């Protein structure tokens, strides 16, 4: 009897694919894929983050890259069981290239490859010092003038940036910059983080006091050091700040706090940056080969220009500047916006005794936290998933294995289930006048985040205050102007105000490049974030990956790193490996370099 087990099917497909690729037989390799197929490559074949859609795109990539990459030794990971279900067979595999080792995921449909994920895990000869390669640490034995670990660390910290130069400078010391620096540290890449705040974690500590993670703990681990088993599901901002500070110290990161990055320019002849910073009252000039902007996926605060802002006698704050509710008891507050920050701030102000009104100018997607955790994340990031053997790495790779082009098809049924479960909740919100949406195609929160990074709220209680009127709601009309003591809406409504908070989001990350480098470079790179889905705030053309994030850009040696804790953890690995390869002079022929689309 023929063995048609899932494992056998995966073995057979990998053997054929590996044989075709090793022989350089592109036709044979392409013919193993369905007509509607997807190959998502994270660095191994393309030295890029690139999704190839359809046989022709795969053929084009292989024709340009195969002879350089020389992949081989494709074999199934027997530690992970292959599976069958709904006409799909899937499994995991290892492979190698000339320069590195990779790991992948494969889905078969009708015996042909439907989706393929290939990821670079390490560079040959530059493996991380972990497991059997972990450092000894203490030096046993004896010797005159031996230096301790502490003395060596202090010398490194005092010399780097002065008598020796970093290979990488990371501007921005939040979760993204810290995660990337930790990866680079393990790869032996000299790196300095530049951060204007006084302490690591201040980017969390200095936000409004009710801020907390809306994503659950299983989704939010940093590289190398996961949160302990008793860490709360939703960590308060100050607890996250303390964790980041601890992490920075124990991971031995060169973190320049209270330091301002004043300018950066790239010398095309020397292939290096000149980065001017102010540290401890003195100007320091750094000359790294690579510059990473980790200034936050959301970019620069968007503060709308509204007539009358110059005559309003009360306070005006962007949500990123809002200190919290304590000073506003008994005050009238108008919050312009209706997404995550707006809801959090409104709820905290109400708790502190303020009279608060939310101005909702456009529809918002709402999902209840408990429902999202159960239906949206439960199979990959939950205690239930951990008990079933799910690891953070495996969960990240499963999520990464779904091409963005079809990801919404997997998300829509989940959000339909959420809508059904919480039907009474949504009915009550709409009765209160709240304008709801479910994304451009009903695919909900994750696709909104990936496409535009805004337009949603994960409800942790504020919606009940909107429903019962504790948070006053004015929806469907934009702001016309401010007077000395009020916000006037275009429908004629007058909202008396002592404080106006603009919870109006952020611009593209390349806005930071305009400030630090030049508008010319910012425009050369183009918009950061978004997939090109041609949905609201994510204009086409289709890119199929996050624009300009974690991968080469049109400006040589300039990189962007950001996103939530999940993305900071996952994509920092691939960005770190790209930077390490360049430090070591390993050939990195980039396929499909991101074209510039949209200036901001």
527 and 471 fall within a common domain? no
Q: How far apart (Å, rounded) are the C-alpha atoms in residues 379 and 200?
A: 33
- Whether residue 517 lies inside any domain: the answer is yes
pLDDT tens-place string over residues 28-80: 999 999 999 999 999 999 999 999 999 999 999 999 999 999 999 999 998 99
The arithmetic mean of pLDDT across residues 82-94, rounded, is: 95
- Whether residue 451 lies inside any domain: the answer is yes
112-123 and 33-42 beta bridge pairing: parallel
Q: How far apart (Å, rounded) are the C-alpha atoms in residues 472 and 452?
A: 27
490 and 360 fall within a common domain? yes
Instruction: Give the residue from 449, 479, 502 where a domain finishes.
Output: 502
| CB under 8 A, 24+ apart: contacts of 32-38 | 32/112, 32/113, 33/58, 33/112, 33/113, 33/114, 33/116, 34/109, 34/110, 34/112, 34/113, 34/114, 36/114, 37/112, 37/113, 37/114, 37/115, 37/116, 38/114, 38/115, 38/116, 38/403, 38/405, 38/406
- Whether residue 391 lies inside any domain: the answer is yes
**Roughly how many angstroms between the first and final C-alpha of the chain, as a whole number?**
61
456: domain CATH number is 3.50.50.60
20: domain CATH number is 3.10.450.50
516-543 burial by CB neighbour count: b if 16+ within 10 A, else e? bbbeebbbbbbbbbbbbbebbebeeeeb
Instruction: Give the residue from 465, 485, 502 where a domain finishes.
Output: 502
Place of tokens 């996926």: 297
pLDDT score of 225 more than 90:
yes
The SS3 call for residue 507 is coil
Q: Report DSSP state, residue 375.
A: I
The percentage of residues in the chain with a pLDDT greater than 90, rounded to a whole number, is 88
Lowest-confidence pick of 104-118, 145-159, 161-175, 541-555:
145-159
Name the band, by pLDDT with cuts 50, 70 and 90, for residue 297.
Answer: low
If DSSP states are collapsed to H, E and C, what string results for 89-148?
Answer: EEEEEEEECCCEEEEEEEEEECCEEEEEEEEEEEECCCCCCCHHHCCCCCCCCCCCCCCC
386 and 409 fall within a common domain? yes
pLDDT score of 213 more than 60:
yes
354 and 495 fall within a common domain? yes
497 and 513 fall within a common domain? no
498 and 519 fall within a common domain? no
594: tokens are 């991101």
Instruction: Give the residue from 479, 502, 525 where a domain finishes.
Output: 502
- Whether residue 593 lies inside any domain: the answer is no
pLDDT score of 299 more than 70:
no
The arithmetic mean of pLDDT across residues 456-465, rounded, is: 95
523: tokens are 């425009």
pLDDT tens-place string over residues 252-279: 999 999 999 999 999 999 999 999 999 9
Name the band, by pLDDT with cuts 50, 70 and 90, for residue 597.
Answer: confident
Nearest CA among 435, 385, 445, 436 for reference residue 415: 445
Tell me how far the alpha carbon of residue 310 is from its chain's centroid.
36
Q: Residue 57: which H helix or E strand, with range? A: helix 55-69
Q: Which domain holds residue 442?
A: 315-502
The reported pLDDT for the residue numbered 301 is 85
399 and 479 fall within a common domain? yes
CB contact at 8 A, 441 and 412:
yes
Which of left, alpha, beta for 195 (phi over 0: left; psi -120 to 50: alpha)? Answer: beta
98 and 229 fall within a common domain? no
206 and 267 fall within a common domain? yes
495 and 512 fall within a common domain? no
- How long is the chain? 600
355 and 436 fall within a common domain? yes
CB contact at 8 A, 105 and 92:
yes
Q: Residue 191: which H helix or E strand, with range? A: strand 191-194
- Whether residue 179 lies inside any domain: the answer is yes
State the total domains in the chain: 3
Q: What is the pTM of this model?
A: 0.95
CB contact at 8 A, 376 and 418:
yes
- Whether residue 148 lies inside any domain: the answer is no
The reported pLDDT for the residue numbered 2 is 58
C-alpha distances out from residue 534 to 135, 506, 539, Å: 50, 19, 4
Q: How far apart (Å, rounded) are the C-alpha atoms in residues 277 and 166?
A: 14
Name the band, by pLDDT with cuts 50, 70 and 90, for residue 1.
Answer: very low
The percentage of residues in the chain with a pLDDT greater than 70, rounded to a whole number, is 99
The reported pLDDT for the residue numbered 430 is 97
Q: Mean pLDDT across the chain, nearest whole number?
A: 94
Q: Positive or negative, the Cα torsion across 357, 358, 361, 366?
A: negative
The reported pLDDT for the residue numbered 598 is 81
164 and 289 fall within a common domain? yes
- Whether residue 373 lies inside any domain: the answer is yes
Q: How far apart (Å, rounded) are the C-alpha atoms in residues 468 and 359?
A: 16
- Whether residue 596 lies inside any domain: the answer is no
pLDDT tens-place string over residues 488-528: 999 999 999 999 999 998 888 888 899 999 999 999 999 99
């Amino acid at each position: 009897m023929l063995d048609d087990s899932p494992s056998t099917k995966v073995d057979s497909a990998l053997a054929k694919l590996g044989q075709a690729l090793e022989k350089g037989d592109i036709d044979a390799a392409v013919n193993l894929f369905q007509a509607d197929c997807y190959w998502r490559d994270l660095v191994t074949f393309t030295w890029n983050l690139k999704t190839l859609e359809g046989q022709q795109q795969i053929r084009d990539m292989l024709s340009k890259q195969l002879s350089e990459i020389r992949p081989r030794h494709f074999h199934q990971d027997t530690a992970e069981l292959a599976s069958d279900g709904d006409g799909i067979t899937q499994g995991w595999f290892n492979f190698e290239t000339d320069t590195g080792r990779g790991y992948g995921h494969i889905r078969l449909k009708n015996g042909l490859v439907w989706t393929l994920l290939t990821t670079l895990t390490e560079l040959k000869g530059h493996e991380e010092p972990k497991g059997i390669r972990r450092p000894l640490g203490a030096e046993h034995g004896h010797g005159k003038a031996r230096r301790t670990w502490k003395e060596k660390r202090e010398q490194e910290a005092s010399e780097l940036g002065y008598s020796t130069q970093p290979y990488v400078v990371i501007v921005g010391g939040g979760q993204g910059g810290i995660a990337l620096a930790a990866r680079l540290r393990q790869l032996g890449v000299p790196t300095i983080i530049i951060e204007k705040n006084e302490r690591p974690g201040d980017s969390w500590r200095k936000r409004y006091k009710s801020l907390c993670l809306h994503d659950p703990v299983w989704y939010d681990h940093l590289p190398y050091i996961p949160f302990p088993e008793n860490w709360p599901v939703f960590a308060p901002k100050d607890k996250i700040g303390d964790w980041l500070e601890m992490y920075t110290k124990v991971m031995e990161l060169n973190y320049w706090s209270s330091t301002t990055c004043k300018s950066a320019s790239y010398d095309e002849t020397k292939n290096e940056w000149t980065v001017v910073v102010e540290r401890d009252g003195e100007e320091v000039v750094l000359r790294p080969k690579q510059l990473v902007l980790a200034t936050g996926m959301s970019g620069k605060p968007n503060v709308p220009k509204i007539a009358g802002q110059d005559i309003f006698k009360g306070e005006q704050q962007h949500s990123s500047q809002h200190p919290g509710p304590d000073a506003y008891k008994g005050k009238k507050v108008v919050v312009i916006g209706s997404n995550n920050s707006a809801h959090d701030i409104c709820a905290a102000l109400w708790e502190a005794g303020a009279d608060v009104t939310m101005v909702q100018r456009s529809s918002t997607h709402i999902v209840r936290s408990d429902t999202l955790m159960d239906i949206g994340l439960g199979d990959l990031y939950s205690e239930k998933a951990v008990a079933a053997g799910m690891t953070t790495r495996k969960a990240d790779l499963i999520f990464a294995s779904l091409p963005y082009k079809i990801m919404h098809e997997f998300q829509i049924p989940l959000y339909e289930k959420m809508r059904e479960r919480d039907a009474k909740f949504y009915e009550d919100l709409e009765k209160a006048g709240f304008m709801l949406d479910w994304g451009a195609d009903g695919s909900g929160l994750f696709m909104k985040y990936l496409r535009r990074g805004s337009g949603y709220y994960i409800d942790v209680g504020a919606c009940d205050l909107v429903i019962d009127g504790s948070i006053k709601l004015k929806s469907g009309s934009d702001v016309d102007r401010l007077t000395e003591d009020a916000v006037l809406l275009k429908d004629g409504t007058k909202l008396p105000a002592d404080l106006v908070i603009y919870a109006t989001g952020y611009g593209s990350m390349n806005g930071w490049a305009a400030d630090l480098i030049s508008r010319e470079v910012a425009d050369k790179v183009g918009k950061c974030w978004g997939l090109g889905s041609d949905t609201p705030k994510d204009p086409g053309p289709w890119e199929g990956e996050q624009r300009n994030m974690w991968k080469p850009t049109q400006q040589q040696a300039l990189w962007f790193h950001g996103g939530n804790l999940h993305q900071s953890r996952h994509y920092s690995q691939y960005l770190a490996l790209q930077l390490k390869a360049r430090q070591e002079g390993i050939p990195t022929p980039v396929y499909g370099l991101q074209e510039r689309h949209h200036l901001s």
